[in-house]
Structure 1
Amino acid sequence: MPQALVDIVRRYTDTHPGENPWMTAIDGVGILRSDLPRNAAPLLFQPCLCVVAQGSKLSTFGNRRYEYGAGQALVVSVEMPAFSRVAAASPEEPFLGVVIGLDPKLMTEVMETVPTSVHVSAHVPRGVFVTDYDGPLADCVVRLLRLLDTPDAIPFVAPLVLREIAYWLLTGPHAADVAKVALADSRTHRVLSAVQALRVHFAEAIRIDELAAIAQLSPSAFHRQFKALTSLTPVQFQKQLRLHEARLLLATGTVNAETAAWRVGYESASQFSREYARLFGAPPRRDIAALRDTLPG
């Protein structure tokens, strides 16, 4: 893991006022820092590359746990709910990380132009995995962050570096898993289409037969492959999406818990409150009050 990345991230967080995460001038690129270990927090991951420069994190997707430290990265290839926490950090050696959004369209474009074919196995890949990053991939991350010192160059150079990152992911040790998600005609893509349909219609009653039809699979095969990809069953996935969306609604301060529950598809406010507290650790009103206390003034 290049010391240069540690130096860049630490200098950036030392010199830029703000709160964790720092969203940078490069679209889709954020910087993370924590001087202490943190409790697990619920997140809704978008497709991204989560690089650790120093310290370590622990993320849980369904029943799968992924711990990744300096020199490693978590790759998330499909939108998924999860719990994530900083596992190792101290004031002397804070946790330092970089999150780089992965544009599915860009990944597909690069996949179609890779000169050597990537062997794609028949299995459905997991939508998340941990990989070492070194060599050209680590160099890309360093060069991307160095652009923050020359903001005028960002619109011209950053897209090229992001394309290069996509290239190294698609030709690296996990190329087959990344490629399965990028290939438009793959079975995985059909499962992803069903995931997206569930994402769009999360407030409606779930119909496994309809989702299976989108994926062109039998209901049992769809259920199995959906869980292989997302680490959750379709019902679990929908429930967590609903609760994350409700939390966003409540955070705006424009609706109460009962209205938020109804908007995301719950018929019972009491059931909503129980499941909300189970996921976020406190009932809606108390959770939102605590969340607002953590926001900058």
Structure 2
Amino acid sequence: MSQTLAALLKRQTDAQGPGKASPFATAVDGLILLRSDHERHPSHHIVQPALCVVAQGAKRTTFGGRHYEYGAGQALVVSVEMPALSRVVKASPSEPYLGLAIEFDPAVMRDVLACLDTPRAPAMSHGNVGHGVFVTDFEGPLADCVLRLVRLLDTPKAIPVIAPLIMREICYWLLVGPHGNEVAKVVLANSHAERVVNAIHVLRDQFSETLRIEELAAIAQMSPSAFHRQFKALTSMTPLQYQKQLRLLEARHLMANGAIHAEAAAYRVGYESPSQFSREYSRMFGAPPRRDAATLKTA
């Protein structure tokens, strides 16, 4: 199955033409194609809830203190929006890294969950939110769905009709699969994980403001200590670490894509001390803000 998918992805990415860099958006909403002809240095980015499939090569992704390595025939499932550090660890011009990401629509996931004959609610009664990330084998009906979704790119007129149905089917196989409870926890109404996710969305939208754990805990309907514990269990980082990564990623984006300088970027994302910003930026990206921004612009 992986070889068939790899052949499809190679043909689709070859068609993008020389010089174009991965990731490649597609006509299927939420489907992104990935390719690298060489091993890559680690890159920081925000990962949306998604199914990340490897057809050829291998990749390593880090969330907080947890590391996940997955290769051909495997998939990384991310159920919560999180900052991540990713690296292609196996690729070459003769055998490039080939993969794809299918972003989840929480509304569709909830709708499919509601249709299941055996609701997941009883498994959610305890207070443990579990992890928001796991690696699973890519096989069976789930692999068949992904193949059909990629093949749709050859018949654009069929995409609006068939793609939403395949997306629902993908949600179904994830929810009834061996890790179904982990996926369901995040979308199940009023579960511990779903309430933590609501607080994460507030933190994401207001990341430049002063972090108040008590306010986020109130949104999650938990005590501050319980919220801190559940947040770290779900995202592999503390709320402060999560906020810091969001701030630094946004500052990097501002400097690389505009005329804004390092000090202005620091204030824009919520730092009061440029020196503290510079220290934490260098620690995360491996170079001071000005030098790193100049390198990104050149690249």
TM-score range (shorter-chain normalised) is over 0.9
CA shift digits 1:138-163 (9 cap, x unpaired) = 00111000011111111111111111
Give the TM-score taking structure 2 as reference length.
Answer: 0.95
- Show the 5 A alignment for 1:203-282: 203-282=208-287
CA separation in 2, counterparts of 1:290 and 1:162? 39
2:16 equivalent in structure 1: 16
Aligned residue among 174, 178, 187 for 1:182: 187
- Asked if 1:140 corresponds to 2:142, the answer is no
- Show the 5 A alignment for 1:1-297: 1-17=1-17, 18-118=20-120, 120-121=123-124, 122=126, 123-294=128-299
Amino acid at match of 2:146: V
CA separation in 1, counterparts of 2:100 and 2:22? 11
**Structure 1: gaps of 5 or more residues:** none
Q: How many residues align?
A: 294
Amino acid at match of 2:102: I
Q: In structure 2, the residue corresponding to 1:44 is in which secondary structure?
A: strand
CA shift, 1:2, in A, is 3.4
CA shift, 1:28, in A, is 1.6
Give the TM-score taking structure 1 as reference length.
Answer: 0.96
Asked if the contact 1:52–1:71 (Cα under 8 Å) also holds between the matched residues in 2, the reply is yes
Amino acid at match of 1:60: T
CA shift, 1:104, in A, is 1.0
CA shift digits 1:177-217 (9 cap, x unpaired) = 00111101211111111111111111111111111111111
RMSD of Structure 2 on Structure 1 (CA): 1.2
CA separation in 2, counterparts of 1:232 and 1:104? 22
Amino acid at match of 1:38: R
Asked if the contact 2:195–2:220 (Cα under 8 Å) also holds between the matched residues in 1, the reply is yes
Aligned-residue sequence identity (percent) comes to 62
Asked if the contact 2:2–2:56 (Cα under 8 Å) also holds between the matched residues in 1, the reply is no
CA shift digits 1:218-264 (9 cap, x unpaired) = 11111110000000001100100111111122222132211111111
Asked if the contact 1:120–1:179 (Cα under 8 Å) also holds between the matched residues in 2, the reply is no
CA separation in 2, counterparts of 1:271 and 1:178? 37
Q: In structure 2, the residue corresponding to 1:82 is in which secondary structure?
A: strand
Amino acid at match of 1:91: P
CA shift, 1:292, in A, is 2.5
